[in-house]
């Protein structure tokens, strides 16, 4: 891989800035200063430093975000997006949200630049189970729980079976394998109720890290990445 591409891929700078930094002698490969931005590096074996700092390159990046309300699940918009919550170094990596949460929904959102994985996880065939915590405007009675679990009409679409676990009259968890626009809100509307608060707590193999404050993020662990990749067909 070209040296300037590797530097940009680590989020340290743009490709153009990388070229300038290399020319200025700010980059070493295996202990030697390299001034040619096209220098071919072996990203798996060579030790590259930028301004004295050792770099770790990985092809894809995976971030767990605890999305706050009021922020859009988009990469660019007039309004604040989930990407705006990240530092510049991560913003340069071409991350995008894997799926969408409504503007006023909180919780687990995977940000990655692994297009094929994201495409697979979001495909209707994949049935990634998403678990949400909800608070409702009115109590949810047992017959409504049964209707939600069997499938309800959300407007030209009948939802697949879901699982509902109530923790109080108006609060509970719902697990769905689909990802229709506003699905949980529409499902609750279909049984004459209204979602007042919604937070995603699980997305397939991922569980929201309870130590992540709202608006905060962290890279996925090796185990979390392996669990996500594990469900991909070869
Ligand atoms: N269902 C909704 O209604 N909103 C979300 O953000 C996610 C699922």
Active site residues: 102
Claim to verify: residue 40 and residue 94 sit in the same structural domain: no
Q: 90 and 113: one domain? A: yes
- Asked whether residue 79 falls in the same domain as residue 35, the answer is no
What is the model's pLDDT at position 147? 98
Same structural domain, 169 and 70: no
For residue 120, give the CATH number of its domain: 3.30.70.580
Domain count, the chain: 3
Is any ligand 1 atom within 6 A of the Cβ of residue 184?
yes
Nearest CA to ligand 1 atom 3: 182
- Distance between CA 228 and CA 206 in Å, rounded? 8
Q: What is the mean pLDDT of each run of 10 residues along the chain (234 residues)?
A: 92 89 96 96 94 92 98 97 96 96 98 96 90 98 98 96 98 96 98 98 97 97 93 78
Same domain? For 97 and 213 the reply is yes
117 in the same domain as 17: no
Tell whether 116 and 135 lie within a shared domain. Answer: no
Please tell me the pTM assigned to this model. Answer: 0.91
For position 10, which CATH number holds?
3.10.290.10
pLDDT, residue 234, reads: 73
**Residue 135 and residue 120 share a domain:** no
Q: Do 176 and 213 belong to one domain?
A: no
Place of tokens 């894809």: 60
The per-residue pLDDT for range 50-81, each reduced to its tens digit, is: 999 999 888 999 999 999 999 999 999 999 99
Same structural domain, 35 and 23: yes
**DSSP assignment letter at 10:** T
Q: For position 11, what pLDDT does the model report? A: 84
Residues found in the chain:
234
* Residue of 67, 97, 103, 105 to mutate, ligand 1, most atoms within 8 A of C-beta: 105
Domain limit, last residue, from 28, 54, 80:
54
Same domain, 146 and 31: no
Q: Which atom of ligand 1 is nearest to the CA of 105?
A: 6
Token pair 């930028």 is found at 50
What domain range includes position 24?
3-54
Taking CA atoms only, the protein residue closest to ligand 1 atom 2 is: 182
Question: Is residue 166 located within the same domain as residue 68?
Answer: no
Cα–Cα distance, 204 to 232 (Å, whole number) = 12
């Amino acid at each position: 891989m070209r040296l300037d591409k590797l530097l940009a891929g680590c989020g340290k700078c743009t490709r153009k800035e990388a070229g300038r930094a290399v020319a200025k002698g700010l980059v070493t490969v295996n202990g030697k200063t390299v001034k040619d931005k096209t220098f071919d590096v072996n990203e798996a074996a060579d030790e590259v430093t930028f301004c004295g700092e050792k770099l770790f390159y990985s092809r894809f990046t995976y971030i767990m975000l605890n999305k706050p309300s009021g922020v859009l699940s988009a990469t660019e918009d007039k309004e604040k997006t989930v990407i705006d919550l990240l530092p510049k170094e991560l913003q340069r990596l071409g991350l995008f949200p894997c799926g969408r949460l409504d503007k006023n929904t909180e919780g687990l959102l995977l940000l990655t630049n692994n297009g094929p994985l994201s495409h697979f996880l979001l495909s209707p065939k994949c049935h990634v189970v998403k678990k949400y915590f909800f608070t409702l405007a009115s109590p949810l009675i047992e017959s409504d729980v049964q209707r939600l679990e069997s499938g309800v009409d959300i407007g030209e679409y009948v939802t697949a079976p879901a699982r509902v676990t109530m923790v109080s009259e108006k609060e509970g968890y719902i697990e769905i394998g689909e990802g229709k626009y506003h699905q949980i809100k529409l499902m609750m509307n279909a049984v004459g109720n209204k979602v007042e608060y919604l937070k995603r707590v699980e997305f397939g193999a991922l569980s929201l890290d309870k130590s992540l404050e709202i608006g905060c993020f962290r890279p996925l662990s090796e185990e979390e990445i392996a669990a996500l990749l594990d469900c991909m067909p070869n």
